[in-house]
Amino acid sequence: MSWLNWLLSTLKRAYDWLMKPNQTPQNEFDALLEIEQASYDQYSQTEEGKLAYEVWSAMVKDVVMADEMEIFFYAYHTQVGASAMLALASLFRQHGVQAYAMLRNASENICNALYGLLDRDNVLATFKKEDATKRAESDETYKKAAYKWMDANHAEYSKYLGDMKKTFFHPVGAHASIYGVGQNLTIEGKTFKVSYLDTTEPVLLITNILFAAEFLLKYLEFVVEHAAEVKLAIPDDLPTRVKALRAEFERLRAKNRPLFIAFQQSLQKDK
């Protein structure tokens, strides 16, 4: 039995169990978590899942604060790591809406982190805006300054982050959308079927995992590229390891691209 058939049979058993009468809400919830765990165990052990984890691990374990002047960078950097962890776990568990919502959060923290890393002369004054009487006002002032600084100094990467938010994160996860609904609701004639997990084809889910892995990898590459100019303490071998992660990503992208194209073509035939 293939892993896909095994996963489908697990979903069927759990669904049948949920439909039994006299089940308590707690038992239903436990059954759903069991399905979720089975999905996590499967997808986290794929080559793509392992790559995503390695990128995340390098990002959170090898980029640490060594100087108090790095506090603004590191504070937001830790939030990038937290959001990324939740995004990857959500993808493994087949919760795409949650994953993209967390990647959107990560993208905003990336801007704040890089501003704190590369424009230290201005960052403290920005955060301590004199007429800001509430923390939220300082947050908004800082964020606007960070976006403006990114646009002026790193336009290409800034555009990439903006495109990801507008093209993927907003339509899928950050806001209610028909795309998000379509991942969990199927209409067959006059019958509605609702799925707890996303009804995502494995090839598409693998593609989404690779997409998230590259999003995090681009951030890690940017930090490593600029580490020397601001004397950010990173392991000596980190640049080499990051290059190896990029090479592995390109290998997996090439491996999966024909499968994804065939999947897209099959969708066109069904229309």
Q: What pLDDT was estimated at residue 10?
A: 53
Q: What pLDDT was estimated at residue 1?
A: 43
DSSP reduced 3-state for 191: strand
* Biggest distance spanned by C-alpha atoms of the chain: 65
Q: What pLDDT was estimated at residue 202?
A: 85
CB-based contact 179:99 (threshold 8 Å): no
CB-based contact 42:79 (threshold 8 Å): no
**Chain CA centroid to CA 178, Å:** 20
Q: What are the residue ranges spanned by the domains of the chain? A: 29-175+201-270
Q: What global pTM score does this model have? A: 0.82
Report the candidate in 123, 101, 129 with the shortest Cα–Cα distance to residue 111: 123
- What is the secondary structure of 62-117 as a DSSP string? S----SGGGHHHHHHHHHHHHHHHHHHHHHHTT-HHHHHHHHHHHHHHHHHHHHHH
User: How many residues are present in the chain?
Assistant: 271
Q: Does the pLDDT at position 105 exceed 50?
A: yes
User: Dihedral through CA 126, CA 130, CA 135, CA 140, nearest 10?
Assistant: -50
Rounded CA gap, 66 and 72, in Å? 12
Q: What pLDDT was estimated at residue 9?
A: 59
Measuring CA to CA, how many Å separate 90 from each of 2, 76, 99, 117, 173?
Answer: 23, 21, 5, 29, 11
Higher-confidence residue of 12 and 210: namely: 210
Rounded CA gap, 177 and 97, in Å? 10
Higher-confidence residue of 253 and 258: namely: 253
Report the candidate in 148, 261, 153 with the shortest Cα–Cα distance to residue 207: 261
Taking only the tens place, the pLDDT of each residue in 122-169 is 776 666 555 545 444 457 778 888 899 999 999 999 999 999 988 888
Rounded CA gap, 170 and 36, in Å? 24
Rounded CA gap, 56 and 105, in Å? 15
- What is the secondary structure of 14-77 as a DSSP string? HHHHHTSTT--HHHHHHHHHHHHHHHHHHHHTSHHHHHHHHHHHHHHHS----SGGGHHHHHHH
Instruction: Look up residue 179 and give its two tokens.
Output: 């795309």
Report the candidate in 253, 216, 248, 209 with the shortest Cα–Cα distance to residue 62: 216
Rounded CA gap, 181 and 174, in Å? 13
Higher-confidence residue of 40 and 3: namely: 40
